[in-house]
Structure 1
Amino acid sequence: MKELEDIVQRYQEVYQQGIKAALATVVHVEGSSYRRPGARMLITEKGELTGAISGGCLEGDALRKAQLAMMQDRPMLVTYDTMDEDDAKLGVGLGCNGIIHILLEPLYPRSYFNPLLLLQAVAGTREATVMVTLFDLQYRNAPQPGTCLLLSNHGLFEQCIADSDLLLAVKHDAQQALDGKHHALKNYHSGGQQLTALIAFQPPAVQLLVAGAGNDVMPLVKMAAILGWQTLVADGRPAYATASRFPEAGSVIAAKPHEVLSHFTVDAYTAVVLMTHNYNYDLAMLTTLLPQAVRYTGVLGPAKKLERMLSEMEATGIRITPEQRERIYGPAGLDLDAETADEIALSIISEIRAAMGNASAQPLRNKKTSIHSKSD
């Protein structure tokens, strides 16, 4: 999400300066590639790049072709076959072994449909979105419709599909992707042309609540900021819970445990870490958060601490379901042999990311399937 927000922010700047720009989108991959479909990059007429569509091996050529698309004032579909001898040199740096299709779309500031101006409306919000990009894989020189629809839980933001039957089919598939929280690749027929649609699901940024404002929280907040997560730091000690101590946090509050929830709303992308080093504060926070269905709740400290907390909660009549217990991680973090505050922060951040992506967090060398899951 942060990469997309960086693209939107940079486009706002070039838009104000009157600089031409194009949006490059990885729309389809056959075989292996560094980035998955949905990866985007902003390219300006001056050669500036924001975002990435590969590990660096395709950007230079994509820049040249994007500048041509801007000159010709029309979208262009470019295919890189890193299994082909002529194109292999493009992927040799990464050992890529696949066919990568990239759509280059000139951005028109005053266009009826400008995807980045639409994304600007949802950037920084808690909105999950689906963006649909139409292209013709069979005939690369045919007109490429490009990005044509943006859907969120609040409805259709905008669309520019004239074919009513095509619009109905695309809206149905986009809604399914939004409900199912997944990417999809679909084929349609419209006006004698066979079109393929990348239906790209984009979740909001992770929302991280850190209970605790000690020095060991600082690297955790910094790492979360690098990832573009929206972070709230809460502590009962006003002298510790200050914005000057945590400049990277979205907000910092001095509050009692029962007051914290009034400052943010839990959603499907919320993670919490309890690290106040105050047993009673952490216990009160865990008790307050238990009914909220938080995706990840990490409890810093030994396993016996968490066992004691859960036992005391149950002794007061609180029933902890297996589903609730599954979402509580204690001791928080992956086993990285972490010792310093920085290492512990890395361990916790990694575990949160794995939990959010339903990933195993095992070494990739042990994975028997492809690194990235395939779109349906």
Structure 2
Amino acid sequence: MLDIAAELHRWTAQGRDFAVATVVRVTGSAPRRPGAALAVDRDGEAVGSVSGGCVEGAVYELCRQALDDGTTVRERFGYSDEDAFAVGLTCGGTIEVLVTAVRAGDAARPVVAAALASAAAGRPAALARVVEGPAELLGQAVFVPANEPVGCEIDGTSHQSDAFGRAVVAEARAMLAGGRTGTVTVGADGSPSGRPVAVFVESVVPPPRMIVFGAVDFASALTRAAAFLGYRVTVCDARPVFATAARFPEADEIVVDWPHRYLATAEVDARTVLCVLTHDPKFDVPLLKTALRLPVGYVGAMGSRRTHREREAALREEGITTQELDRLHSPIGLDLGARTPEETALSIMAEIVAERYGGSGARLTGARTPIHHEPIRPSDVPVLDFAAMNALSVPGG
């Protein structure tokens, strides 16, 4: 639902009643992932999509029905051998959708409205909804804003125990911290041994961050590609003549500073991507020494295989361990035979996407691997003390 938060926030502000169908589970190959939603208002206006067209008509009618009777239903759609183009997924997968009404006077409306307002404003938040369990809980919701205390009552009206509410909030916060969307199981009494209740958690977080070090032509192409894929991009270079907004119009931020010094105090998280395109030892070595000890999602460095070997030896001399070096993607990118800056940017972004979802980077033709992957959790890595990182220096730095 939160993927169409801007439109639905406008609907709630206008006082419009609507029903929303949200994909809560996907099996096999399907065009949309959990969290994708289709909403329909009283006038029949629709926004969003749950399948890219395969089952939209059937889900549309379920939304109209929910608007009329206020019931919450969970429906499964899969491949139909008899009529694949009627009510089935021609791609061969299955999806399960939760259809709920969001009408004036419904208990869930203020909860959903709060989540939509937060998501539309770009604030991190999670919306948790019961998708399987006791009938009286099905579809009920709790809104979990980031870094703010919230009540534990489902919909603000439930008579469930505080322990159940606290368990839902704890699970939702954990999902929000990783920017993940999916289903978790909570005991009805709040304990792991209680009657299982399936809760679908949608997270909305700011765009992931990419920091590109080195204001070169390859960086310009990479910035454009990363912005297209939804990254918030920072370009950092110590040379003011190259690090300019005119050269990087798609960048969200231009920083003129020594790369290692900037990274020492930069805000990063498990989704942050660091791309080192300087391929100059006086920049690369202190920068990578810092980068490989940060809990970020990806660290890549440009250069030839010879450059990589020399850089690796220099990093070992600086005390970087084999385990830390294993996190380094160098030479950066996938083997696409790329030559131009634009082709190289495609190679780099392809590797970043594969890393995020655990893809192999192999051809899909003839492969037996899944087409779609769920995001993988980044490994825990030690974090270098910021004071120690600030002490790093390079010749002339």
Indicate how the Cα distance of structure 1 residues 345 and 108 shifts in structure 2: closer, same or farther if over 3 A, else same.
farther
Quick one: which amino acid aligns to residue 183 of structure 2? A
1:296-322 deviation per Cα after TM superposition (whole angstroms, max 9, x unaligned): 11111212212222323444xx11112
Letter in 1 for 2:77: D
1:54 aligns with 2:55: no
Work out which of the residue numbers 213, 216, 222 in structure 1 matches 2:215: 213
2:85 paired with 1:89: yes
Q: 1:167 aligns with which of 159, 165, 168?
A: 165
Counting matched residue pairs gives 362
Q: State the secondary structure of the residue aligned to 2:278.
A: coil
Bigger mean CA offset, 173-182 vs 199-208:
173-182
Q: Aligned pair in 2 of structure 1 residues 124, 80: CA closer, same or farther (>3 Å)?
A: same
Matched residue SS, 2:212: strand
Question: Structure 2 matches for 1:221-232, cutoff 5 A?
Answer: 221-232=223-234
Q: How does 1:245-264 map to 2 (within 5 A)?
A: 245-261=247-263, 264=266
Q: In 1, are the aligned partners of 2:299 and 2:329 still within 8 Å (CA)?
A: yes
Gap change, CA 1:7 and 1:169, over 3 Å in 2: same
Alignment partners' CA distance in 1, 2:245 and 2:105: 37
Contact 2:111 2:142 in 1 (8 A): no
1:281 aligns to what SS in structure 2? helix
Q: Which residue of 2 aligns with 1:34?
A: 31
Whichever residue aligns with residue 335 of structure 1, its letter is D
User: 2-side partners of 1:248 and 1:217: how far apart?
Assistant: 11
> Is the alpha carbon distance of 1:293 and 1:371 closer, same or farther for their aligned partners in structure 2, counting shifts above 3 Å?
closer
Instruction: Mark the CA change 1:218 to 1:71 in structure 2 (over 3 Å): closer, same or farther.
Output: farther
Instruction: Name the residue aligned to 2:297.
Output: 295
* 8 Å contact from structure 2 (residues 6, 116) kept in 1: no
2:236–2:243 contact (8 Å) kept in structure 1: yes
Is 1:118 the equivalent of 2:115?
yes
Residue in 1 that maps onto 2:272: 270
What is the rounded CA distance, in whole Å, between the counterparts of 2:233 and 2:55 in structure 1?
34
Give the share of equivalent positions with the same residue, in percent.
Answer: 27
Amino acid of the residue matched to residue 339 of structure 1?
R
Q: Report the more deviating stretch, 235-244 or 100-109.
A: 100-109
TM-score normalised to structure 2 length: 0.74
| Conserved 8 A contact 2:12-2:113 | no
Matches within 5 A, 1:70-219: 70-72=67-69, 74=70, 76-83=72-79, 88-90=84-86, 94-98=90-94, 100-106=96-102, 113-115=110-112, 117-118=114-115, 120-121=117-118, 130-136=126-132, 145-146=138-139, 148-151=141-144, 154=147, 157=150, 160-161=153-154, 162=158, 163-164=160-161, 166-171=164-169, 173-174=171-172, 183-186=182-185, 196-200=198-202, 205-219=207-221
Q: Which runs of 5+ in 2 are unaligned?
A: 190-194, 377-397
TM-score (norm 1): 0.77
Q: Is the 8 A contact 1:185 1:199 kept in 2?
A: yes
Aligned CA RMSD, in angstroms, stands at 4.0
Cα deviation 1:22-74 (Å, max 9, x = unaligned)? 43211234665333433334545552423x321321223323432443455x3
